[in-house]
Chain A
Amino acid sequence: MSVNRRTFLAVGSAGAALALAGCASTPGRPLARVVVIGGGYGGATAAKYLRLWEPRLDVTLVERNEAFVSCPISNLVLAGAEKIENLTVRYDGLRKYGVRVVRDEATAIDYDRRVVRLARGDALPWDRLIVAPGIDFQYEQIPGLDNAEAQSRVLHAWRAGPQTVALRRQLEAMPDGGVFAISIPRSPYRCPPGPYERASVVADYFRQAKPKSKVLVLDANSDIVSKPALFRGVWAERYKGMVEYVPNSELVEFDVKRNVARMQVEDVKATLFNIIPPQRAGQVASDLVTVNRQWCGVEFLGFESTKIPGVHVIGDAIAPAPAMPKSGFMANNHAKVAADAVIARLTGQPLNTDPIIANTCYSFLTTTEAVHVASVHKYDRDQKTLVVVKGSGGLSSARSTLEGEYAYAWARNIWADALG
């Protein structure tokens, strides 16, 4: 099926949608069917806002997990300062908005027939599709970790859930005097400040419970990717002698038997490794990948795929606009622009031409004190992308318990915004 025919059909269904709009009170005749793949920060928000803003839509969210578990705040679980249950939100809240939540795995997308294939249930047809698949890990790039057995022992804990709890157990079991090594992939990856936050709050745990232990940060990047001065500051002061930072340190192979990481320059031994592998868009979106075999290209007025019309991609899976981090906050904001665009397309309205979205990433430097980085992104018509507004955004000047409280307030409000 050619792109032209597909475009023609898209216009056709919008026309049909307009015709239906005249008899909106007719029960059981939705305006159009929208399927959202993935119930994370992006997908859950998109599903909710589609129904909030256009109740005539039939919206189905496909999610493989029983409940949402937040990556933000999950480093505090590793530090023993939080419980995973408190970061877990069920999908029931979305049903109030009339979102049909299907617990299943989206295994493939048939773009010609316009259906999402599921592992267990019947395929889901769509008139517009929003793909929010999050990330998958490129273990094939790390010889030694390219098998399930090795991956069950050397954890990433970069999707919150069972791995977070398991890594906490490994940290508890680590003897005092041990070295906990975190391997960070090249940017871009999910949650730019996350690995450094992890190093900081695990150091805080060690400080209290295993004071002879150390955190070794092996960074494939040439410097700390986010909030460098703030992280460097707390490591030099509160965690003096406890956190060692090694830039330009890219993992090339892992020896599970000897527990040795082979870096480009040298071999590194540690008591406990946490390998955060390089990432790409979640597998189900593989046909939408356009950039570096990793990320899905989108236009930034509606987050529509640059490859396949009628399909929108949001969240960590996209090829980001300049200085746009892969964060839950951003995914939530992508979702609203995409939902608005999907509604516009299905009701024959113009796209909004001036999207403005924002980001805030809180990071804990201790188990109670946090800092933030913020930015505002506005559509630039010449560059045809979202760019950071000059003069907007910035960092905290110092860590504080006030911002630690704000980090929690943010988390509770965004969970309510996405899922409640």
Chain B
Amino acid sequence: MTASPRNAARTALLAATTFLAFGAGSAAAQQAPDRPTERQVRAWAAACAACHNTDGRSIGGFPVLAGRSAEDTYRALVEFRSGQRPATIMHQHTRGYTTDELRHIAEWFANVKPAR
């Protein structure tokens, strides 16, 4: 792979941004962490709330995700994704996410307390 000056500049900029983002204590060349931050997962899960209500506390028509076991939710999501589980829409949504992302989202909902 050849590094054009433009790419090199971009890499340098990325490195600088990463450095700022992770603070002076971490390596400047650090890539995006494998495990997303809790804030990142919370933000991903928040997209689901447009149908499943805030924190997955559905008020009807769609499943309650709050407090449901991560294994159950994850299995449903990957089965929607593969087409194994019939759906009107969830196959189309789950195909926008990697299985890792789906697992993080399932874990996040599992940790929500079901009742306020």
Contacts and interface: CB of A to CB of B under 8 A. Distances in A.
A binds B: yes
B53 A372 contact: no
B16 interface: no
Contact of B96 (A53, A355, A372, A378): A378
Contacts, number: 119
Interface stretch (B35-43, B71-79, B106-114): B35-43
A40 B4 CA distance: 46
Interface centre among B43, B52, B88 (most CB of A within 10 A): B43
Contacts of A400: 88
Given A350-B22, A356-B44, A376 B37 contact: no
Given A356-B101, A376-B97, A409-B60, A350 B89 contact: no
Interface stretch (A118-126, A222-230, A240-248, A391-399): A391-399
Interface string A340-381: 100010000111111111101000000000001011111000
Contacts of A408: 61
Contacts of A374: 89, 92-93
Contact of A358 (B39, B54, B93): B93
Nearest to A396: B88
A412 interface: yes
A183 interface: no
Nearest to A377: B96
Interface centre among A353, A378, A391 (most CB of B within 10 A): A353
Contacts of B36: 354
Chain B interface category by residue count:
20 to 34
A356 B97 contact: yes
A409 B62 contact: yes
B51 interface: yes
Contacts of A358: 47-48, 50, 93, 96
A139 interface: no
Given A358-B47, A376-B96, A403-B88, 5 more contacts: A49-B46, A350-B21, A372-B88, A376-B95, A396-B88
Interface of A: 48-49, 52-53, 329, 332-333, 336-337, 340, 344, 349-358, 360, 372, 374-378, 389, 391-394, 396, 400, 402-403, 405-406, 408-410, 412-414, 416-417, 420
Question: Which 4 pairs from chain A and chain B are nearest by CB?
Answer: A409-B61, A376-B96, A392-B96, A350-B21
25 contacts: A52-B54, A329-B50, A333-B50, A336-B43, A337-B43, A340-B43, A340-B46, A350-B22, A352-B40, A356-B96, A360-B51, A360-B89, A372-B89, A375-B96, A389-B96, A403-B88, A406-B88, A409-B62, A410-B50, A412-B59, A412-B61, A413-B50, A413-B51, A414-B51, A417-B53
